[in-house]
């Protein structure tokens, strides 16, 4: 998989891109360990049950003083490279 995203099971990307949707609810204090370098990957489970590990740096634009909460859409290209991470709600 591309830099910044790992998937527990193989993805079969048949079209030009693959969209994955997941919810994330991480408190601010919990997310501090990513800023401090104690952890680099955020583990999430998408709505189809696939386990994903996403580099925490991709979530920095979405951090508030409450942490990160919401529904996200992630788009991977045919090579599995992250193309888009978007907060939907």
User: pLDDT digit string (tens) for 58-82?
Assistant: 998 999 999 999 999 999 888 778 9
Q: Where are the alpha helices (DSSP H) in the chain?
A: 28-35
pLDDT digits (tens, 9 = 90+) for 9-67: 555 556 678 899 999 999 999 888 887 878 888 999 999 999 999 999 899 899 999 99
User: Which own/partner pairs from 9-12 qualify as long-range (CB within 8 Å, at least 24 positions apart)?
Assistant: 9/50, 9/51, 11/50, 11/76, 11/80
| pTM for the model | 0.80
Q: Tell me yes or no: is domain 5-87 CATH 1.10.10.
A: no
**What contacts 38, CB < 8 A, 6 or more positions away?**
none
Q: Which residue has the higher pLDDT, 88 or 1?
A: 88
Provide the token pair at 32.
Answer: 């501090």
Asked if 58 and 65 count as a contact pair (C-beta separation under 8 A), the reply is no
HSE of 58, CA atoms in CB hemisphere, 13 A = 21
């Amino acid at each position: 998989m591309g830099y910044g995203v790992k998937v527990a099971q193989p993805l079969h990307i048949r079209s030009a891109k693959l969209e994955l949707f997941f919810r994330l609810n991480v408190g601010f204090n919990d997310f501090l360990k990513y800023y401090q370098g104690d952890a680099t990957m955020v583990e999430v489970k998408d709505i189809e049950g696939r386990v994903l590990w996403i580099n925490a740096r991709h979530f920095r634009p979405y951090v508030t003083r409450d942490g990160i909460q919401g529904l996200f859409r992630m788009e991977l290209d045919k090579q599995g490279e992250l193309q888009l991470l978007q907060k939907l709600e």
